[in-house]
Chains A and B, each alone.
Chain A
Amino acid sequence: MKRVLETKAVSGQSPNYLLAKAQDLIDWAVNSSRANSLWPMPFGTACCAIEFMATAASRYDFARFGMERQAFSPRQADVLICAGRLPFKLAPVIRRIYDQMPQPKWVISMGACASTGGIFDNYAMVQGIDTIVPVDVYVPGCPPRPEGLLYGILLLHKKIKGESLFDRAPRRDEQPLDERGLRLPPEQIDEISEPFGNSIHQFRSG
């Protein structure tokens, strides 16, 4: 050990060098295990779910990336994939499913409607599921092709491999709703839900 510490690569480094190396090794092992065996919890509400099924089926086959087992139970899932628009009536449902998933957990928002409300800028639709649950990867498209979803999943792999167990700020804490029953401050929800694109021409009346 003494000889190792006196080698050129180590001497002159911070005293915590070996500890940092060990942490890197642990992070690498944990993150590789997590990223390469993501069990998805499909939350398919619309046409995006068709593309999701195509991604799961033999031609695109996301089992190649370790998503072999689709968990239709939130208790055994790692990543919640919201495929399709989310009406307000389903908001408490997706929130409960998210709360039931054990940590560590991630969320992919698949398609324009899940990410922003898409074409449904109306009274019945959530304008982006990030007002309900925290989202890690947004996959654009209407609906996204299976390649798009696979790219989003690979981005999530990248994100997972960048995480560390030894962060000062614990990122894998539960984020319960606040006392008002909201995930974000109301101003932020209003800002996220602002109309954009064509729908800015439709004014809120009454």
Chain B
Amino acid sequence: MNPSADALRATFGGAIARAAESCGDTIVYVDRAALLAVMAWLRDTPGQQYDYLVDVTAVEYRDRERPLEVVYNLRSLARRTDLRVKVELDLRGDLAIDSVVPLWRGADWLEREVYDMFGVTFRGHPDLRRILMWETYAEGYPLRKDFPLRGRFSRAEQVRQALNANPEAHYSMEELSIAEAHDELPPDMRERLRRGERDKIPYSE
């Protein structure tokens, strides 16, 4: 068991629901409300120094009674240790959790992916949009257990929505390499970039 688990218990007490060990990895279950404080403590406390957020992901189990888990894999580059932090979210409640982007800038796209695939909302995220599916994707969250493999709409409807999507709008201006040359773009392209696809798909019922 990673000693960080006991240190967390000593510091945060009831906010640490339990700790477990699996295949040599330590897993700490943290209360949703305390997440940001726990993560900041893990990052900044001397002796912990988990300075690298390896991954953010989520797990939903087939058992509908089990909560959805948001998983944070942490690594301390200096101390060469790993720690896994999990937050359990009740599927019947609202799937909302604090964003850790203020602590690790790299959590930005990772949290967007969890939002896109599982529908978990990250409060305080600077730019919470879908990242894999396009922004007007309306069929739900593909990695949830109640999502049918082939999607919710008919194939014709899926093709129609895909063809009506605007491929230029998948990126924010900062992500576009042409952002600096924006003023020199032809006016129709500038207009398409400005419009984005956040409003409605044309011809939708």
Contact = CB atoms under 8 A, between A and B. Distances in A.
A202 B157 CA distance: 20
Interface in B138-177: 139, 142, 146-152, 154-167, 170
Contacts of A123: 139, 142, 147-151, 158
Interface in A176-206: 177, 179-182, 186-187, 189-190, 192-193, 195, 202, 204-206
B15 to A, nearest CB: 37
A198 to B, nearest CB: 13
A190 B63 CA distance: 33
A147 to B, nearest CB: 32
B156 A182 contact: yes
B41 interface: no
A122 B149 contact: yes
A95 B142 CA distance: 25
Nearest to B170: A89
A121 interface: yes
A123 to B, nearest CB: 3
B77 interface: no
Contacts, number: 87
Contacts of B134: 88-89
Given A123-B139, A123-B151, A190-B154, A182 B167 contact: no
Nearest to A87: B162
A189 B155 contact: yes
The SS class assigned to the B binding surface is loop
B156 A186 contact: yes
B156 A181 contact: no
B157 A186 contact: yes
A91 interface: yes
A126 B155 CA distance: 8
Contact of A122 (B150, B156, B160): B150
B202 interface: yes
B133 interface: yes
A206 B147 contact: yes
B154 A181 contact: no
B97 to A, nearest CB: 25
Nearest to B150: A204
Interface string A115-144: 000000111101100011000000000000
Interface of B: 133-134, 139, 142, 146-152, 154-167, 170, 202-203
